[in-house]
Structure 1
Amino acid sequence: MRALVIRHDPVTEPGLVGDRLIERGYELTLLTVVPEEQHHTPNVRFDFPDADGWDLVVSLGAPWSVYDETTVGRWIGGELALLRKAHHLGIPVLGICFGAQALTTALGGTVEAAPRPEIGWVRIDTDDPSLIPPGPWMQWHYDRCVPPPDARETARNTVCTQAFRMGNSLGVQFHPEAIPAVVRRWVEFGGAEQCARLGIDPEEPVARSRAMEPVARENAHRLVDAFLDSLD
């Protein structure tokens, strides 16, 4: 089975989600959209492959906004088209954070600024703990999804929709893939300044991620397993 994993920047990795997909028999093809030298100028040219022929598409997080066309204008349209086609072909799509925001946009929803940022480990309210455990989950976002009208919200908190389902597509606002090394890189690639503006010690998310790693791995595996096992 072939899984296309869209990595928008060189900092983020499929992490715990990727590990479980491999254990479930998937061969991962990792596409990096924005190279490291253009991390702060991500308006690059990128040609996405066709959606047909994949068994699964995973869209990871990114430090930008889906609706910020000035910043990501050259390539976001191609990704939205890929996600839309994959969904309509019945190919499972898992969108994570920015990937969830791209998915909701592709399927007719919108993305807007959240009332406040979420950075750190947060518990959520879930309608289906077998699919979306309550966490806590790693969060690092400033925007939120407004899911498409036909989507079913499956988890939330006071800030935003935390998970939504539409057919074989699942979007989650949190980061089930997060491992401590990646959280460290988020801090190094601009996250420290973001934390400082919010009065957060930038070492706290890293230290908490180390402490949470066993629980995070278990929760990520449960989510991946339940998602794959629920597919039509």
Structure 2
Amino acid sequence: MRIHVIADQADKDGGHFHERLLQRGAELVALDRDDLPSYASIGQTDLVFLLGSDRSAHEPKWKSVVEAESTFVRTALQVGTPVMGICYGAQLMARALGGTSWRADVPELGWQRVDTVDTVLCPEGPWAQMHSDVFAPPPTAQVIGTSWRGPQCFIDDSLGARSIAWQFHPEVTAATYERWVHEGYYGAPGVDTKDLIRQAHAHAAASRNLAHTLTDHALTYLGVA
């Protein structure tokens, strides 16, 4: 199982998802989204995995990067390669398939439960949230998870292969979440950062188990051995 992981050069940590994928014998190949090659040049791959980012897919300064990754995603799906994405990756996938994204009024933070119509591909959690953007799903997608701030998970197979995207962070470890908090990744003044870190460590063990199970279910849905 060969998986190409698209991420920022400065943050390529796939956390619990990477851990589970490696346990299942996957070879993970990192791709820098700022210098993304063409899909045709990467060789054999079974899955494309889009990680999160501290940027926003709708910001004009990232237009060329977003367009390149969107083209990569569409090409992968058109030739039969499934795609899954997290947070920024979900927003990117939404835009690539005909949806959009924008800046939220307030960020969504901490461990939150989601409303779901599919407890296998989008369990209610609670899941880690850390984002300042909202996406509108593509018209061809089926939204299977929401919060009061917007969509949290969608699936789509309109281009041939299956795709799945989560707005929340099922992959994040307590250590990474704490690092994001200290780096001000959430971008919101007046937030109780100590409480966010407390939540991260309080949910650490359960989050790992949930993430491993979700990884397995996602691979089954996407048809990846």
| TM-score (normalizing by structure 1) | 0.87
The one-character-per-residue Cα deviations of 1:39-65 (angstroms, maximum 9, x if unpaired) are xxxxxx513341662111111111111
5+ residue gaps, structure 1, are 34-44
Q: Which residue number corresponds to residue 117 of structure 1?
A: 107
**Contact 1:11–1:186, Cα closer than 8 Å, also in 2:** no
Secondary structure at the counterpart of residue 182 of structure 1: helix
**Contact 1:115–1:159, Cα closer than 8 Å, also in 2:** no
Q: Which residue number corresponds to residue 146 of structure 2?
A: 156
Alignment equivalent of 1:46, drawn from 35, 51, 70: 35
One-letter amino acid of the counterpart of residue 102, structure 2: E
CA distance in 1, matches of 2:56, 2:143: 21
5+ residue gaps, structure 2, are none
Q: Where does structure 1 differ by over 3 angstroms across 4 or more consecutive aligned residues? A: none
Q: Displacement, 1:184?
A: 2.1
Q: Which residue number corresponds to residue 215 of structure 1?
A: 206
Q: Which residue number corresponds to residue 76 of structure 2?
A: 86
**Contact 2:52–2:87, Cα closer than 8 Å, also in 1:** yes
Supply the RMSD in Å over aligned alpha carbons. Answer: 1.7
| TM-score (normalizing by structure 2) | 0.90
One-letter amino acid of the counterpart of residue 47, structure 1: L
Q: Displacement, 1:84?
A: 1.1
Q: Which residue number corresponds to residue 7 of structure 1?
A: 7
Q: Which residue number corresponds to residue 176 of structure 2?
A: 182
One-letter amino acid of the counterpart of residue 16, structure 2: L
The one-character-per-residue Cα deviations of 1:4-51 (angstroms, maximum 9, x if unpaired) are 111224235100011111122211112344xxxxxxxxxxx5133416
- When residues 166 and 90 of structure 1 are mapped into structure 2, their CA distance, relative to the original with a 3 A threshold, is same
**Contact 2:163–2:222, Cα closer than 8 Å, also in 1:** no
**Contact 1:11–1:185, Cα closer than 8 Å, also in 2:** no
Alignment equivalent of 2:93, drawn from 98, 103, 111: 103
The one-character-per-residue Cα deviations of 1:87-114 (angstroms, maximum 9, x if unpaired) are 2222111110000000011111111223
Matched, 1:227 2:218: yes
- When residues 185 and 48 of structure 1 are mapped into structure 2, their CA distance, relative to the original with a 3 A threshold, is farther
Secondary structure at the counterpart of residue 156 of structure 1: strand
**Contact 1:4–1:54, Cα closer than 8 Å, also in 2:** yes
Secondary structure at the counterpart of residue 224 of structure 1: helix
One-letter amino acid of the counterpart of residue 65, structure 1: S
CA distance in 2, matches of 1:32, 1:15: 17
Secondary structure at the counterpart of residue 164 of structure 1: strand
One-letter amino acid of the counterpart of residue 46, structure 1: D
CA distance in 1, matches of 2:138, 2:21: 27
**Number of equivalent positions:** 217
Q: Displacement, 1:68?
A: 0.6
CA distance in 1, matches of 2:30, 2:194: 29
